[in-house]
Amino acid sequence: MQGNLIHGSLPKSFCNLSTSVKGIDMSNNRIQGSIPLALKNLFNLSALALLNNFIIDRIPDSIGALSNLQELGLRGNMLTGEIPSSIGNITSLKLLDLSSNIFQGYIPQSLGSCKQLIGLDLSNNNLIGSIPAEIVGLSSLSIVLSLANNNLSGSLPLQVGSLKNLGELDLSYNRLTGLIPASISECLVLERLHLEANSFHGQIPEALCPLRGLQELDLSNNNFSGPIPSFLAELSQLMYLNLSFNQLGGEVLEGGVFLNASSVSIYGNTELCGGVPGLKLPLCKSPSSKKVSSTKARVIYVVAGSLLCLALLLLCLSISYCKKKQTTANASTSLSFENQFLRISYEELLRATNRFSETNLIGKRRYGTVYKGILDGGVTVATKVLNLMQRGASRSFISECQTLGTIRHRNLVKILSVYSSVDFHGNDFKALIYEFMANESLEEWLHPSTIGRDDEHGESRNVRLVQRLRIAIDIATAIEYLHKSCYSTIVHGDLKPSNVLLDNNMVARVGDFGLAKIISMVSAEATRIQDQGSSTSTAVRGSIGYVSLEYGMGHKVSILGDTYSYGILLLEMFIGKRPTEEAFGHNLNLHNFVRMALSDRAMDIIDLRLWSEAGNRQQEIKIRDCIISVFEVGLAFSMESPLDRMDMTEAIRKLHLIKVSSETKERRIGM
């Protein structure tokens, strides 16, 4: 019964089904309420899938009585409390997906008793404590082990070496510390390793060298130091490498994955140099003789290492082939593994927002009204109350839950909770609770007169040139993450300044995913071809002025629609004019307005507030050079033909270089 519009609670009679029933799938519905205690009566059940509903409360301990259960999928609900240790009694369990709920407490060590587990996903919850050695010691795990987006601490247990058959290990966005244990070298089948956004330190370990099947490696946002190890260039299967925001230094390699600048991210490591020209790093200051000697040594090392690794690769392929045959058979009915919420009642929302009073009003959106609120625990939040009379509001609510509930990134607005039930009058009530952004939206900084501020106050809220560049990079980084780093590609669909919020430190957070679309993972080239293809009714509507032209002709949803919107937003940030201003008329849009002025009138269209940073002719030239470079990037994004638009990764690189150049010039001339 999956994929319908079934709503209401699970009736008690649900547990009176014939004891011969072996599989129940009611995923992707609108089921509310809690899991019945009498679930244990279905003792012959081998598969239970209730994914992506609105089920609340705890998982009953009685679930441990389902001794024949092999698959349990409860992802994408609002289950809370601790994960019951009784699940460890289900020793026949092969697939367990409890991700994207509100589970708290520790990971139960009893899960280590499930010796047949091939897939375990506990990501996107509020779990604390250390990673149990019993979990990483499960040698049966072969599909995925994901504990991402929790609050786990401590070090990675040495028992990680037991995961000899595992294809994907994701421990990202936790508080893990220490060194990566050398035992990870035994995970020879590993294809995807994500350790980003933790506090691992030390050098990138040589223990990763034997992992010849690695296709994705993300060590970004940690405290790794030292040089980039040479073996990373020898991982022939590596297609994505992210080492950004560490403390790495020295020369960047020029082989393997490092030959393709779009496959490597090394931002935030200020001591790196060299590499292929596409990385745009400064040249290394080393004698030419040493460079020649180093090159010869590298060639010898690569040749010798390749012969040795070829033998290892053949062995790994043989092992992998056998395991994949077994995994395919076992996972033919597997659950998908892909989302953390606070438990908030309607009464608490009323108290937090002063009964949704006008004094707490932050703003109004397409499908709802946003209020500032302070929860009982003292946390300040932004609460978006859906206007369910507005057509499309319910669909918008589901879209935001499906997207923001499954992802987390430092440049995306974080959803803290959702509420979907009734108010005190029995009317349907839906609300989304987000982190509160103290500096409001980018719209209110670019166009301060629109929110009733006088000129003096508006002037004080001006965003400086370098700050605008940082915000532009933040937005681009968020969109790149949605397009390239999620389990499924996500198209935002409504990128504009009012949907970009700024936190206390003026870090940009992209929000409002009411029009977002989750599309299947496709290559960049396939996306481009698809975008030129037939029309579909699922085209993103977006906002006038920011919607890509092909959507108006009915073309399919694609990441290139977001690319166009970002280009328009980028141009708007530096000329201070909306794309819908009457000055453009019917025959001119923002892209053409900037393109026509770029050759000889670029300075005439710059946001006048940016000129306040220039005190002399030299400073004016510096500002001019910077903004013309930004205009070129914005124009490359907003080309009429989707095939002509710049890639988001390349744009981040260009904007980063422009920012670094501007910051250097700013320090030099005392801006």
Structure tokens at 245: 């925001």
**Is residue 427 classed exposed, middle or buried when 0-12, 13-18 and 19+ CB atoms within 10 A define those classes?**
exposed
3-class DSSP state of 624: helix
d(CA 461, CA 441) in angstroms, rounded, equals 12
Nearest to 26 by CA among 53, 63, 64: 53
Calculate the dihedral angle through the C-alpha atoms of 200, 206, 212, 215, rounding to the nearest 10 degrees.
30
Dihedral sign, Cα of residue 654, residue 414, residue 488, residue 138 = positive
H or E segment and range at residue 416: strand 415-422
Output the DSSP codes for 290-344. Answer: HHHHHHHHHHHHHHHHHHHHHHHHHHHHHHHHHHHHHHHHHTTTPPP--------
3-class DSSP state of 269: coil
Q: Using N-to-C axis directions, what is the helix angle for 648-669 and 617-637, rounded to 10°? A: 170
Calculate the dihedral angle through the C-alpha atoms of 556, 557, 559, 564, rounding to the nearest 10 degrees.
80
Output the DSSP codes for 83-130. Answer: PPGGGGG-TT--EEE--SS--EEEPPGGGGG-TT-SEEE--SSEEEEP
Active site residues: 494
Do the Cβ atoms of 576 and 607 come closer than 8 Å?
Answer: yes
d(CA 134, CA 146) in angstroms, rounded, equals 15
3-class DSSP state of 154: strand
> How many H-runs (helices) and E-runs (strands) does the chain carry?
14, 30
d(CA 591, CA 605) in angstroms, rounded, equals 12
Place of tokens 């019945």: 36
CB burial readout 87-111, b (16+ within 10 A) else e: bbbbeebbbbbbbbbbbbeebbebb
d(CA 526, CA 548) in angstroms, rounded, equals 18
In the chain, what's the furthest Cα-to-Cα distance?
A: 84
d(CA 484, CA 489) in angstroms, rounded, equals 6
Output the DSSP codes for 366-377. Answer: SSEEEEEEE-TT
Do the Cβ atoms of 219 and 241 come closer than 8 Å?
Answer: no
d(CA 400, CA 395) in angstroms, rounded, equals 9
H helices present in 612-647, as ranges: 617-637
d(CA 170, CA 179) in angstroms, rounded, equals 16
From the centroid of its chain, how far is CA 72? 25
Do the Cβ atoms of 256 and 232 come closer than 8 Å?
Answer: yes
Output the DSSP codes for 50-77. Answer: --SS---SPPPGGGGG-TT--EEE--SS
